[in-house]
Amino acid sequence: MSTAANVRAALGRVPKGKPFTGARFSGCGSPAVVGRTLSRLAAAGEIRRVARGVYVRPKFSRHVASGMAVDVREVARTVARRHGETLQVHGFEAIRRFGFSTQMPLSPVYHTSGTTRTLHVGAGSVRLRHTSNRRLLQFPGEPAGVALSALWYLGKEEVTPETVARIAEVLRPEDFAKLRTAAMPAWMAAAFDASPTGPVHG
C-alpha cells in the first residue's frame, strides 16, 4: 500500500479525541510523506490540527463550545513529548489537589523545561511556564512529582511537618516513599525530618 493508505489504515486505530503526532505513523512511510498526508487529511476535515504537528480525530460533543472535545492537558503532554520537554503540574494546581487551596486555575498551567508559551486548543488553552529548577521537575507525571510541585509552591514559610503529614495522608505509601527520595533544599528536608513520617532518604 501507499504511505497515504497506510496512514489511513493506522488512523482508524487512534482513539477519537486523543492527540497524536506524525511519529505515531513512523512505520507507514518517510516522515515527510507522513506529514504531507496528515496535512491533506486535516485540510479535508478528516482530522483536526490542534497545535503545530499535533492532530486529533474529531470527537464531537454538544457540551463543548467548539463542538470538538479535546483534552488540552493531553495536547500539552503530546507537544512536550514531541519536543523532548519535561512537564510538571504547576504548584497552583498541585496545592489544590492536596487540599491546601480550593481555588481553581482559569486554565491548566504546567512547569516545563522548554520555553514559556501558551497553547490554544479550540476554545481552551494551556500555559507552559519555563523553569530552570531541575529539582522541581523530578518525577514528572507521577503523584510524587505533583506533591513536590506543591511543596515548592508553598515555600519555606508554609512547609511544616504538618504539611508533610497531610501529603502523606493523600499519597499512596509507595508514592510517598518515592517523594522522600527526591533531591530537596534543606528547608524542605527539615520538614520531613521533623514530621511523624520520618526523615527523607536520598
pLDDT digits (tens, 9 = 90+) for 17-26: 888 988 888 8
Residues of the chain with CATH 1.10.10: 3-56
pLDDT of residue 65: 47
CATH top-level class for 3-56?
Answer: mainly alpha
Distance CA 10, CA 142 (A): 30
Q: Is 153 exposed, middle or buried (0-12, 13-18, 19+ CB in 10 A)?
A: buried
Interval 45-78: pLDDT, tens: 888 888 888 888 877 655 554 545 678 888 899 9
Interval 109-122: pLDDT, tens: 999 999 999 988 77
pTM: predicted TM-score of the whole model, two decimal places: 0.79
% pLDDT > 90, the chain: 51
Question: Of 82, 81, 83, 4, nearest to 36 (Cα)?
Answer: 4
Kindly give the parts of the chain with pLDDT less than 70. Answer: 60-69, 198-202
